[in-house]
Amino acid sequence: MNNKTLLKFLISCFAMILSLGVQAQSIIFSDFTEDFKEENKFYYTDWTNFSVECAQMIIKEGGITPILEFYDKTGEKYLYSLLEKNPPVSNGGIDISKPMILHLMAGDYELPVKWYEFGVGCWIDSNKYQSNRQIMSATGKSFLKKLFSCDFYYLKLSPVEAPNKIYKIGPFAK
């Protein structure tokens, strides 16, 4: 198949998809603090933001580990890595009325939260929650709860990086 034929085929496929009424739907929930700046989205992909010691720690630890701090119904605190499978939460499950805090760790060193995106879906249908809040608002906690009922979910620390698959937490897992 030559290039012109291939191009015509792709255009006709695209026109057929549009005629069937298939649309891309993307819902973005933004939840930023007042001091947020647009350039902060790229904080974690610009190595000039980190001291030499901090950069060495990130490399040594194999990257940044997102840790979610939350509490169960009895008030017991949990720290779960979002990059690993976690055991269920006992004592009545996660209490979303209590704080949920995102910690970005390189070993024992905690990095500041500048921007992150939790998301679900693909090109056709996707939902995203973007924030720079370390302590999640009610919107963020609600989005996270819905997120863990889906099949494909991710975390990004910069718009230009590849998404990291995250794992379901305790009672949010089905």
Over 60: is that where the pLDDT of 19 sits?
no
Dihedral angle of Cα 151, 80, 137, 126, to the nearest 10 degrees: -20
Nearest to residue 134, comparing CAs of 33, 46, 38? 33
pLDDT tens string 79-122: 999 988 888 888 888 998 999 999 999 988 899 999 999 998 76
pLDDT tens string 127-161: 899 999 999 999 999 998 888 777 778 999 999 99
CB count, 10 Å around CB of 45? 12
Give pLDDT, residue 27. 79
Most distant CA pair in the chain: distance in Å?
A: 67
Over 70: is that where the pLDDT of 32 sits?
yes
Mean pLDDT over 46-63 rounds to 89
Question: Coil, strand, or helix at residue 46?
Answer: coil
Give pLDDT, residue 41. 95
Q: What is the DSSP string of 111-151?
A: EPP--EEEEEE-SSEEEEEEE--SB--HHHHHHHHHHTTSS
